[in-house]
Structure 1
Amino acid sequence: MIRRYGEQVKQGQRYRRRPGVYAILLDGDELLATHQAAPVPEYQLPGGGIDAGEHPVAALHREVFEETGWRIAVQRRLGAFRRFTYMPEYDLWAEKLCTIYLARPVRRHGPPTEAGHSAVWMPAVAGLELLGNAGDRAMLARLLGRR
């Protein structure tokens, strides 16, 4: 069973499953996150949806690069969780299946290429409060050995 975080499922609402991949990017005690300006400003783990026919790790590399401008070295899969949410940018009610990987930032190539995103370094422990998604915070807490 995959743990669920976030909003309650709305009875009668149809959700479309949307698999995605996200990275906890650590360099020592520092976490590389992305700040998304819209639709609601928040810090997030970099990542996103997997395109049809795309391998999850390839999607992770693509999404992290788009949202941070960094190339990464994927170390291992940490786990997965589900979120049921409305995605206004796609006008979509989604069941997001979020798979989280541990990765290391290797080299910055430039600013993020995805509009409205900026790369932000923060102490990893600060991410436990600043990340806008309860699932992201829980996966980071588990990795850092905190509850």
Structure 2
Amino acid sequence: MIRRYGEAVKPGQSYRRRPGVYSVLPRGGKILVTFQESPVPEFQLPGGGIDPGEHPLAALHREVFEETGWKIAAPRRVGAFRRFTYMPEYDFWAEKICTVYLAHPVRPLGPPREAGHTAVWLDASEAPDLLGNPGDRAMLAKVLAGL
């Protein structure tokens, strides 16, 4: 059973399963995150949905690059969680299955390619309180406890 964070399941609501991959990216006492402007401005672990037929690690590299502009290396699975949420950009309710990896940010290759995203370095001590969703906060806290 994968732990749920965030909103409870709404009775009678149909949810579409949406697997995704996300990354904790520590470097020099800081954590590389993405700031997403909408639908709600918030800091997030970089990542996103796995496209049909795409390998999860390929999706992780693609999503981190799209949202931060950074190349990453040596991803290692940390854990997974699920959350039930409305995704306005796709106009559906989703059961997001979020697999989180610890990876090394290698170098920036350019600005984020995904509109509305900005790469931000947060102090590791502040980052858990600033992330927008409780699942991201829990996974980051797990990583930081092991560093």
How does the TM-score come out when normalised to structure 2? 0.97
**Aligned partners of 1:87, 1:74: CA distance in 2, in Å?**
30
State the one-letter code of the partner of 2:109. Answer: H
**Aligned partners of 1:67, 1:75: CA distance in 2, in Å?**
17
**1:12 matched to which residue of 2?**
12
**1:121 matched to which residue of 2?**
121
* Per-residue Cα deviation, 1:108-128 (whole angstroms, up to 9, x for no partner): 011100000000001112111
SS at match of 2:128: helix
SS at match of 1:121: strand
1:19-98 to structure 2, matched below 5 A, reads: 19-98=19-98
**Aligned partners of 2:82, 2:102: CA distance in 1, in Å?**
18
**1:132 matched to which residue of 2?**
132
**Aligned partners of 1:92, 1:101: CA distance in 2, in Å?**
26
Measured after TM superposition, the shift of residue 86 of structure 1 is 0.3
* Per-residue Cα deviation, 1:38-69 (whole angstroms, up to 9, x for no partner): 11000000000000000000000000000000
**Aligned partners of 2:121, 2:138: CA distance in 1, in Å?**
19
Task: Report the RMSD for the aligned CA atoms in angstroms.
Answer: 1.0
**Aligned partners of 2:20, 2:125: CA distance in 1, in Å?**
24
SS at match of 2:126: helix
How does the TM-score come out when normalised to structure 1? 0.97
Measured after TM superposition, the shift of residue 70 of structure 1 is 0.3
Measured after TM superposition, the shift of residue 74 of structure 1 is 2.9
Contact 1:35 1:43 in 2 (8 A): yes
* Per-residue Cα deviation, 1:76-122 (whole angstroms, up to 9, x for no partner): 10000000000111101000000000001001011100000000001
The percent identity for this pair of structures is 72
**Aligned partners of 1:69, 1:103: CA distance in 2, in Å?**
15
SS at match of 2:112: coil
**1:108 matched to which residue of 2?**
108
Contact 1:74 1:101 in 2 (8 A): no
**Aligned partners of 1:121, 1:20: CA distance in 2, in Å?**
22
SS at match of 2:54: coil
SS at match of 1:5: coil
| Structure 1 runs of 4+ with >4 Å offset | none
